[in-house]
Amino acid sequence: MKSDALRQLRHATDAAISSEPIIEAIRVMAAGPSPRGRERATATRLAAWARSRWPELPWNLEAVGDEGANLTSTAGGSGPELLLYSHLDTSLSGDVEHDRWATGIDEEPAPLSVDPASGLLAGFGLGVARAPAAAALAGYAAAATALRRDGLPHRLSLLLASGGTHSSPFAPAGPSGIDEHLRSHPLPSAAVVAKCGPRGVLHEEPGAIFLRVRLGGPYRPVLARDAGGGLLANLGTATAILESWRIEHVAARAGAGRQLAAEAGIGAVRGGLLEKPDLLPGVVEFHLYLVTVPGDDPDEIARTVLARMRAGIPGGPLDGCRVDVDARLVHPAGVTSPDAPVIRHAIAAWHDEHGEPPPAISGWKGSTDGVVLRGHGVPTARVGPAPGSDPADPRRDVFDPRTLVRFARLYAGIAVRHALGDVEGQGHRH
């Protein structure tokens, strides 16, 4: 009986999902910038559009910080809740002057476009995370509508969150939307993170640590520069020490997870006063991002880096400088059992859409705030499309809308399986 219900629901959700609303949702999101913590205008536009498109579903705005907002919707009554999650902010801010320190590009990116020959969709911020967010929205609406129409018990929620991209606690950028949501709502029974990623279903995700290495030297103007040249003139020494540490740190974590892997890198260097370059910097900071595996301890990592820096400096041009290392854990790595129902549902839905099981994943180094859900004990699957890159502008991601349709159907498939529970002998489409 459940198998029959599943087939009928899959047929209904597949029929309800097309590329048109997915592309339109992306257009609504792309109509203005949505940097981390300043997504409220985007959330407001998207809520108004969704209310017009699916008036039978509730669409709610929940303020996050001064300028952020979560867009939420919950369908059904009581029972085990499945949360479909993505976020509204983009990895780059969209401000060219701000972003060029990472991109090296001074021009505005071209607007969202659909190539008339290939049909490919290209635009800024699609990979993180407008395209998978739009697919999740369409999949949620299709599943919620079908379950309601058939009168089946269910509780299905969508969260498109504020502040979903990682930001260093050394440069605070406002609260996280998923944290705010979990403070004010009951924990879901299971969750699906709709983010771009590897081909397959992730049940493990690495965590994130931000590391600040601060070097201090004496105050002196350029005109009093001594033969040593000061901190900035000898950054190569400090960089070499940190890079040597990185190689050993990553190698020591090889094989620490079935799907995930560690990584570390220097992402920013700060020193001196822009308005007063006639003064040598008295402080130089290296800011590192660490992709972590289960068991990584930020305090132990900070002690190890501090010891390496102190051991490498004596006798060299940085001899005598002050060294301080601070590590801040943003999210620990998280693991969901591969036998959890939400993982099984995701694998079955993948098989439906692709005609074969999802490929095995190893060495994945992308952390998202999906690990927040795992940290609260919520079984979580992460699955989403892999973006292409615009050869003319690496800030623009490229998607085939047909791929986004498949993932919208996949998200809907997970939702209806969750509502029905495990179905024996489900079968797969061929």
Whether residue 425 is predicted with pLDDT greater than 50 in this model: the reply is no
**Model pLDDT for residues 256-271, shown as the tens digit of each residue:** 989 999 999 999 999 9
At 426 the pLDDT is 42
What pLDDT was estimated at residue 422? Answer: 58
Instruction: Report pLDDT for 265.
Output: 97
430 pLDDT more than 80:
no
**Backbone torsion region of residue 198, taken as left when φ is above 0, otherwise alpha when ψ lies between -120 and 50, otherwise beta:** beta
Burial class (CB in 10 A: 0-12, 13-18, 19+), 13: buried
The pTM of the whole model exceeds 0.75: yes
Mean pLDDT, residues 98-104 taken together = 94
For residues 64-70, average pLDDT: 96
| Top-level class of domain 207-331 | alpha beta
pLDDT band of residue 396 (cuts 50, 70, 90) is very high
Question: pLDDT (tens digit, 9 = 90+) per residue, 220-232?
Answer: 899 888 767 788 8
Query: Which tens digits make up the pLDDT trace of 24-63?
Result: 999 999 999 999 999 999 999 999 999 999 999 999 999 9
- What are the boundaries of each domain within the chain? 2-203+336-420, 207-331
pLDDT of residue 368: 86
Mean pLDDT score across all residues of the chain: 93
Percent residues over pLDDT 90 in the chain: 86
pLDDT above 70 coverage of the chain, percent: 97
Q: What does the pLDDT read at residue 428?
A: 42
Give the per-residue pLDDT at 132.
Answer: 98
- In this structure, of 85-89, 156-160, 170-174, the range with the lowest mean pLDDT score is 170-174
Please give the pLDDT value at position 227.
64
CATH 3.30.70.330 fits 2-203+336-420, yes or no: no
pLDDT in tens, 265-295: 999 999 999 999 999 999 999 999 999 999 9
Q: How confident is the model at residue 304 (pLDDT cuts 50, 70, 90)?
A: very high
Amino acid 333: pLDDT: 95
